[in-house]
Amino acid sequence: MEPWNGWYHVTSNTYGTWLPGDPRGWRSKGHRKHVEGDYKNPPPEGADRHLHEHAKDKLKQPPVRLSPKHREIVGKAVVEMLAMQDIEVLALSMDAIHCHLLGRFPDKSVRPRMGRAKKHATFRLREHGHAGRLWEAKGRALPITNRAHQVNVFNYTVDHGLEGAWVWTYRQGLYWRDET
């Protein structure tokens, strides 16, 4: 599907926070295995419990959950690096375990550009004492289909602030660069 005017809804999770067999629901790679439920309608209790335990045992470090201060550092770093790559960002939310972003990627190079932004955020967080991995691999980039979809994703992203996420919108600008 072609994105409307180059806009994408990008999501990324912190390391170890959404694993196969997760009780909140999960999807297998490429949807090769049918899994009942999702985060809105979780699977039956105990379903895939052994798979989830196995995935947790394979982690190389504890799952990453960001404090409110670290959410701000990571969010600012992602927005800053995307701006340096001339990516227009309308909104970003960063909560304890995941990031939502609404951005225009005119050349469809979402994954490499987000990779650089996530790498920048990792280095910025290391300056504040975090060691180890910060992100899960890849993330997800869903093309925006029309203006109504764009507005819906913008509001959805901003509404994460009601649940404790650090939220940034284009209205705030990039005036923090000298602060952190």
Q: β-pairing, 88-94 with 166-169?
A: antiparallel
> What's the CATH code, domain 4-14+65-172?
3.30.70.1290
Position 26 scores a pLDDT of 61
Which stretches of the chain score pLDDT less than 70? Answer: 19-40, 42-44, 47-48, 52, 176-180
Contacts of 99 (CB under 8 A, 6+ apart): 10, 11, 12, 13, 74, 75, 78, 92, 93, 139
Where are the CATH 3.30.70.1290 domain residues in the chain? Answer: 4-14+65-172
pTM beyond 0.75, yes or no: yes
b/e code 166-175 from CB counts within 10 Å (16+ = b): bbbbeeeeee
State both tokens at 148.
Answer: 């109504």
Q: Which residue has the tokens 């990792």?
A: 122
Residue pair 75/44 in contact (Cβ under 8 Å)? The answer is no
Position 175 scores a pLDDT of 73
Residue pair 167/74 in contact (Cβ under 8 Å)? The answer is no
Position 2 scores a pLDDT of 87
Instruction: Tell which residue, 121, 125, 123, has the closest CA to residue 139.
Output: 121
Residue 114 CA from chain centroid, whole number: 10
Position 38 scores a pLDDT of 64
